[in-house]
Amino acid sequence: MAKKVAIYWPGDARPKPNELAIPSIEAATVQMERALKKLGRESYRVPGFLSKPHEAIEKLGPVNDPIVGIFVHWVYGPHTTDGVVGKDNPFLMASNFSGQWPGLVGLLNTGACLESLGRAHSRIWTDAPDWTTDPVFMERLDEWCSSGQVKYGEDELSYHAPVSESASAIAKNVANDIKKRRILILMLGDTSMGMINGYFGPRRLTPHGFTEHKIDQAWIIDRGRRIDEKRIGEAFQFVKNKGVTFHWGERGGTDFDENATREQLRDYLAVLDMVNEFKADCLGWQYQLGLIPLRAPSDFAEGLFNSTCRPESNGDTVACATEADQGNVMPMEMMKRLLKAKGLHQAVMFHDVRWGAEHEGKFLWVLLNSGSCGAYAFNHNPDTLEGVHTYRQPATYFPTPGGTFAGESLPGEITWARAFLKGGAMWMDIGKGSVKKLPAEVRDAWWNGTTREWPFMAADLGVGRDTLMAHYLSNHVAVAYGDIFGEMVALSQELGFKVRIWGKSNGEKKA
């Protein structure tokens, strides 16, 4: 590989997050420069953040040297992909593996975007203060410098899993129902913030039993103006009576008040009417970025949709994927149907893979997304909203006031999944694990070290940190309480997905 290495800064599209990230990204860049120098490489910087697709095209497109991207905060996939697709120079994504800023989240999303476009890349990460003192990191960096790629083992991955007769029967029945009536996703806009890996469109959806109906988000504003104030008042009284704890005016959110929550319920009702009008089965809700200056955050409404206990409920959840992520809404709807068929509660949670750490000899992931986690995670009672706390979304990112749908997820057995595009084919990742109850001081340190306003889940996903960081093709994950692992494997196969099984004990290595 060439001795000269280019280093660039992938960016958010919004100036403020990039500005706040400067100290972290500068420090990480210096660490990478020192590490490369120690390995005999000469590095240079591509100037400035890449905060628009054209900047990736103009600044990365001409670079033929090996490239390293520094991922220490949230970034948009196209701010990398649009400058490197169609090229084959060695490409490496590096993260400082910190929970403070979602850098590793940005790395996972960008890696999935690259994979969906067929662009080869490698990944590397460390939580060491001095990167050159982490022998594993330096060994991997040396491998990349020497060969242009970093290879990771697949001991915890397989492509077959044993499925019981009962699980297969349940899956076949659910698949038959889907074949009789295709699943309709109501899409409020496209995926947001550069998550191109999470949008498949009808050409990819229809072979697997799904399709979409796309609606412009402007409809939320238009329809919302016609929502009867009486309905909003009744919905507001419902969530109060069912146990939501409102943190109006707290944590600096002086503009977060009762009216902000009412406006979130206005949008919930407007979207509910559209779901009913189009007889949609599930929902992808973009919100970011187009509605940020115009409407209150969608998080409180999304949390309600993922709960059976909600205003004007028909007794079911409406599986809702934040950021209109089809890679999550597909497994969410499939898992919902399997849970119901197996007599388990149907709620499926949407989360970011935000950060993780060791606790009592196990690596646990902090799963943390601003609002698409339903109330059942916090109370295991389908008839209440107790345990739900709503805090003002951080004003840095959300100028219009509105609350989240937060709480501490209860312990229990889980099944998790994610749909993704690789090699031109649709795949389904499937694993199982458990949610853990942490000591209060550990929980608070992890929660406060990420984003305290968001729902919290400490999860053992059944695989080690490095396996997930090396191979996972999303920053999102769908999580359900209960063991529907075999059923999900069988249903995915029935619907034509290729499957990838996570966890040494879950799969079979046979070809």
CATH number at residue 196: 3.40.275.10
Sheet of 42-50, strands arranged across: 42-50, 4-10, 67-71, 91-95, 122-125
Q: What is the mean pLDDT of residues 453-464?
A: 97
CATH number at residue 135: 3.40.50.1070
Among 167-171, 249-253, 265-269, 412-416, the least confident range: 249-253
Q: What is the tally of structural domains in the chain?
A: 2
How close are the terminal C-alpha atoms of the chain, in Å? 33
Whether the predicted pLDDT of 8 surpasses 50: yes
Are 383 and 249 in a shared domain? Answer: yes
At 509, the pLDDT band (50, 70, 90 cuts) reads low
pLDDT at 193: 87
Boundary of a domain, candidates 147, 176, 206: 147
Are 203 and 247 in a shared domain? Answer: yes
Nearest to 482 by CA among 361, 338, 353, 371: 338
In a domain, residue 195? The reply is yes
Whether the predicted pLDDT of 510 surpasses 60: no
Whether the predicted pLDDT of 511 surpasses 80: no
Whether the predicted pLDDT of 50 surpasses 50: yes
Nearest to 418 by CA among 335, 320, 504, 323: 335
Q: What is the pLDDT of residues 422-441, one digit of tens each?
A: 999 999 999 999 999 999 99
3-state secondary structure of 295: coil
Are 327 and 289 in a shared domain? Answer: yes
Question: What residues does 213 pair with on adjacent strands?
Answer: 186
Task: With beta carbons less than 8 A apart as the criterion, state whether 347 and 374 touch.
Answer: yes
- Greatest Cα pair distance in the chain: 70
Q: What is the pLDDT of residues 151-191, one digit of tens each?
A: 999 999 999 999 999 999 999 999 999 999 999 999 999 88
Q: What is the pLDDT of residues 368-406, one digit of tens each?
A: 998 789 999 999 999 999 999 999 999 988 999 999 999
- Torsion sign, CA atoms 344, 377, 109, 357: negative
pLDDT top residue among 486 and 100 = 486
In a domain, residue 50? The reply is yes
In a domain, residue 508? The reply is no
pLDDT at 397: 87
Q: Which range marks the domain in which residue 415 is found?
A: 165-502
Model pTM score: 0.97
Q: Name the percent of the chain lying above pLDDT 90.
A: 94
In a domain, residue 414? The reply is yes
Q: What is the pLDDT of residues 102-150, one digit of tens each?
A: 899 999 999 999 999 999 999 999 999 999 999 999 999 999 999 999 9
pLDDT at 433: 97
Whether the predicted pLDDT of 304 surpasses 60: yes
Are 124 and 229 in a shared domain? Answer: no
Mean pLDDT rounded to a whole number for the chain: 96
Are 143 and 35 in a shared domain? Answer: yes
Are 265 and 388 in a shared domain? Answer: yes
Q: What is the mean pLDDT of residues 237-244?
A: 98
**Cα dihedral 453→454→455→461 (10° resolution):** -130
Burial 297-323 (b: 16+ CB within 10 A, else e): bbbbbbbbbbbbbbbeeeeebbbbbbb
Cis bond leading into 272, ω under 30°? no
Task: With beta carbons less than 8 A apart as the criterion, state whether 417 and 478 touch.
Answer: yes
Distance CA 206, CA 185 (A): 11
Are 210 and 269 in a shared domain? Answer: yes
**Strands 389-390 and 42-50: what pairing?**
unpaired
Nearest to 104 by CA among 465, 493, 453: 465
At 192, the pLDDT band (50, 70, 90 cuts) reads confident
Boundary of a domain, candidates 147, 174, 193: 147
Are 243 and 355 in a shared domain? Answer: yes
pLDDT at 27: 97
Are 78 and 19 in a shared domain? Answer: yes
Q: What is the mean pLDDT of residues 262-268?
A: 98
Are 238 and 328 in a shared domain? Answer: yes
Are 130 and 173 in a shared domain? Answer: no
Q: Name the percent of the chain lying above pLDDT 70.
A: 99
- Torsion sign, CA atoms 239, 242, 248, 253: negative
Tokens of 56: 């990736």
Whether the predicted pLDDT of 340 surpasses 90: yes
Whether the predicted pLDDT of 410 surpasses 50: yes
Are 339 and 409 in a shared domain? Answer: yes
Boundary of a domain, candidates 147, 181, 198: 147
